[in-house]
Structure 1
Amino acid sequence: MGRTSMSKDAAAPVPLTVPLFVLASGFLATAVAFLGAGVVGGTPVAEAAGGWLGQDATPLAPATPAFRIWSVIYVGLLAYSVWQVLPSQRRSSRQRRLRPWAVAAMLLNAAWIWSVQLDQLTLSLVVIVVLLGVLVRVLVLTVETPPETRVGAVLADGTFGLYLGWVTVATVANVAAVLAASGVEGLGPPSGPWDDAAAAVVLTGAAAVGVATAWRSGGRLMPAIGLAWGLAWIGVARLEGDWESGITSTAAFLAAAVVLTAAVLSGSLRHVQ
């Protein structure tokens, strides 16, 4: 009797207000993104906060085209926000666990953009570190609870996986920006050569995080793609400009290749097993 009761509880749909709040969060995050892009009166992120998040601000900043990945992420977030309102997903125990973290991820993204718009660079670092932790939690939940459908895999696992990979690189760039703005030697403004060995160490660390994530997640591709995308664009940015460095560029490209290879190999091993 107790078992039957638990089964009914698991199948009971959540109140409609819950998925509607997720939906509202998705629209809010997207609306604030237009502000961050400078489309509706805001200052583009690369120019806000003293320009410390721009392509040539630090040796660990990705090239400007890297930020195009946000378009894909926002489309995914909106699609997920709409999809999880469906009656079938209101009954999903998986979505019941994911929704609070999905809301946090979307609202934190909006908070990060606002902090940058207000020139609060240090606050933006605090926000993005918390956001990174939330996205790691989302990854853990998606691994622990396999998707019920392919659509769910694409919209939940795919979107938040890509989001996690990109935010990992964005966090590295944000740390470098805060240190540079604080006057740390070698990080800005460009007054002397950046220690290529230090840059290579940081990029190697990012690659190690990507490898560990791929292994722990069973070869999930989207986090690897997001991370590799950001690392590759760091490499592109170092091919020219104020922080031109063949060593740093090569290290970034190699790190991206290692992350993608690790994800593919981890996925292959999982299927073999």
Structure 2
Amino acid sequence: MSTSASRPGSDPTSDPTRPLTTADQVRRIGVIAAEVFCVVGTLFGVGVIGTRVEESSGGALAATATLVAPAGPAFSIWTPIYLGLLAYAVWQALPANAVRDRVRSTGWLAAASMVLNAAWLLVTQQGWIWVSVVVIVALALTLGVLVQRLTREAASTTVERVVLDVTFGLYLGWVAVATCANITAALVDSGVDLGATANQVAAVAVLAVAAGLGVVFARQLCGRWSVAAAMAWGLVWIAVGRLGGEPRSVATGIAAIVAALLVLAAALRRRQVRSGTGDRSRTLRAV
């Protein structure tokens, strides 16, 4: 049985000496343009140009708006994600990288994720909370397809693993949790109120869905630590917000911690299974 798919650089279709095509050139420019748009959207989101996210949409997306809103420090995860996106935009433009099949198969998806991220920030500036739900769901699906495609071939260098696999793994993991929080925020902003007890039950159900997504990601994406870590990060900060802040909910806080542990355990288990089947080289690169 051939093992070339699990040996970085052994696939002839990933030969960096292949010439750049017109499609490669257009894609490289498209990704850079998308990154510029993403930066502009971010300036709105952090309040440099517009209104900060937590203050937009009438405060519906604030850290204290719902039971599944992560505490403020959780959003610091955007720093490595944005730095990673910037590094990726530069890295993918290098001729030797632009011809790699991993870049060719994911470049437009990466560009779309940047555009959707900026669009989400701009939409929330207008207070269109349900439109923001549509945008973030589209973003999550885009990132899911992108990271799935990355599992077809291992990264060939450490730099590639960081700027491509780690960046988009963190991106997907965080957006998965943010999507659950965004949908909940839209419902609450629309006046949905089930009562004190039922609201907590609903919050626990949402966290169970998030944990389920984490298990699915672990199975489908080779137990990528970047995805699991980002999801666990978001879930833990939901717990911090509910156990130490407002609105307070011990049940929700405990459920968030359990969900975070389940996501990490699922990733660990998946990696152990892959190691046991002999596909160790690919498992260790599933970051």
TM-score (norm 2): 0.86
Equivalent position amino acid for 1:111 in 2: A
Of 241, 244, 247, 2:245 maps to 241
Residue 12, structure 1, aligned to residue 9, structure 2? no
Stretches of structure 2 that go unaligned for 5 or more consecutive residues are 1-12, 278-287
Residue 144, structure 1, aligned to residue 158, structure 2? no
Equivalent position amino acid for 2:260 in 1: A
Equivalent position amino acid for 1:25 in 2: A
State the shift of 1:192 in Å.
4.1
- Report the counterpart of residue 3 of structure 1 in structure 2: none
Distance change >3 Å, CA 88–CA 202, structure 1 → 2? same
The SS at the match of 1:223 is: helix
- Report the counterpart of residue 268 of structure 2 in structure 1: 264
* 1:200-258 Cα deviation digits (max 9, x unpaired): 22211211110111122111111101111111111011013332011110110111111
State the shift of 1:156 in Å.
1.0
- Report the counterpart of residue 139 of structure 2 in structure 1: 131
- Report the counterpart of residue 174 of structure 2 in structure 1: 166
User: Is this contact kept in 2: 1:194–1:243, CA < 8 A?
Assistant: no
- Report the counterpart of residue 92 of structure 2 in structure 1: 84
- Report the counterpart of residue 25 of structure 1 in structure 2: 34
Equivalent position amino acid for 2:109 in 1: W
Stretches of structure 1 that go unaligned for 5 or more consecutive residues are 1-5
User: Is this contact kept in 2: 1:207–1:255, CA < 8 A?
Assistant: yes
* 1:137-178 Cα deviation digits (max 9, x unpaired): 001110123323222122111111110000011111110111
Larger relative contact order (Cα-Cα within 8 Å, sequence gap ≥ 6): 2
Q: How does 1:108-257 map to 2 (within 5 A)?
A: 108-186=116-194, 192-193=196-197, 195-257=199-261
Alpha-carbon RMSD across the aligned residues, in angstroms, is 1.8
State the shift of 1:7 in Å.
9.8
Q: For the residues of structure 2 that align with 1:259 and 1:246, how far apart are their CA atoms?
A: 20
Q: For the residues of structure 2 that align with 1:93 and 1:84, how far apart are their CA atoms?
A: 11
Distance change >3 Å, CA 80–CA 32, structure 1 → 2? same
Determine what percentage of the aligned residue pairs are the same residue.
42
Q: For the residues of structure 2 that align with 1:114 and 1:158, how far apart are their CA atoms?
A: 26
Q: For the residues of structure 1 that align with 2:136 and 2:99, how far apart are their CA atoms?
A: 31
Equivalent position amino acid for 1:120 in 2: W
Q: For the residues of structure 2 that align with 1:185 and 1:99, how far apart are their CA atoms?
A: 42
User: Is this contact kept in 2: 1:132–1:168, CA < 8 A?
Assistant: yes
Equivalent position amino acid for 2:66 in 1: T
- Report the counterpart of residue 109 of structure 2 in structure 1: 101
Equivalent pairs, count = 262
User: Is this contact kept in 2: 1:98–1:138, CA < 8 A?
Assistant: yes
Q: For the residues of structure 2 that align with 1:200 and 1:193, how far apart are their CA atoms?
A: 11
State the shift of 1:30 in Å.
2.1
